Structure 1
Amino acid sequence: MTAESSNEVDAITEQIDSEDEKWKAVFEVARALRGNGKIAEAETQYLKIITEAPENFQSISLLSLGEMLSFTDRKDSARRYLLQLVKLLQQKPELDPKRDQLEKAVTLIARIYGDQGRYEEAENWAKTYLNRFNPDASEDSPFVKELKRILKRRYY
């Protein structure tokens, strides 16, 4: 995104009266940029949300940014954003009442460790999450199945 088009986003969002609508618009711009393969430009918009928007927009943007970067060579950056999300959701569980974002972040962190060949860290991360935050998780839950699939790669 050029400085000119970044200014266009600012000009458009300034015309929106509602704070929520403004941040929804910025988030949608980031998603569109990501969908068009403009990773650096999308990252700029996600970071704007993370640093300036209310926490509910910060959380979804941290997840989106971490997920986006997990498919690049910037896996360490992805993991840092996802860890930041986990901390935010631990402090403010009301931002993610169904724990969807938390489970996705934990899964992505474990997958990143696995992709980097750091299987012991992936396993420790998954076990810590399950024991501390979700001890009642069913063996049949998609979340637990995904974590087990990630960990199986260690032994093959």
Structure 2
Amino acid sequence: MLIRDATAAGWPAIWAFMRPIVASGETFSWDRDISPERARAYWLHERPPGRTVVAVDPDGTVLGTAELHPNHGGPAAHVANAGFMVDPAHSGRGVGRALGEHVVARARADGYRAMQFNAVVENNTRAVALWRSLGFEVLATVPEAFHHPRDGYVGLHVMYRRL
């Protein structure tokens, strides 16, 4: 697996798995019917300080993607934020871990002092376990902040780690 910068030309491959993930309403706090243009504007950072990467297999198939940017601006811009999506057809292959490790290392190299995730759905147990294994801790859980289509109102974790 190779992790490389995403390109505008690669957007259709990202959108192909991003659309059903977002539409499911289970892990992302985006409008479930977000347009591809709006999703692209949010996800595909084409210049620093934002970055977007893709994980690809040897034949170039996009397995997953991650985006990295400052969590806030100005005097709080030294704390990074990131988002991750793995094509469900390729889950269980270590794509999420590889993207997580890559983004943490990239954030450190870019000079961020910490990374914060603002909204990890608490019943997304695989993601929570992955982030914990990469050194993140749950700072707080906002009760019933996410309306899960199957489980009803569940909490959103704020997760953090120093870099």
Normalised to the residue count of structure 2, the TM-score between the two structures is 0.34
Normalised to the residue count of structure 1, the TM-score between the two structures is 0.35
Structure with higher helix content: 1
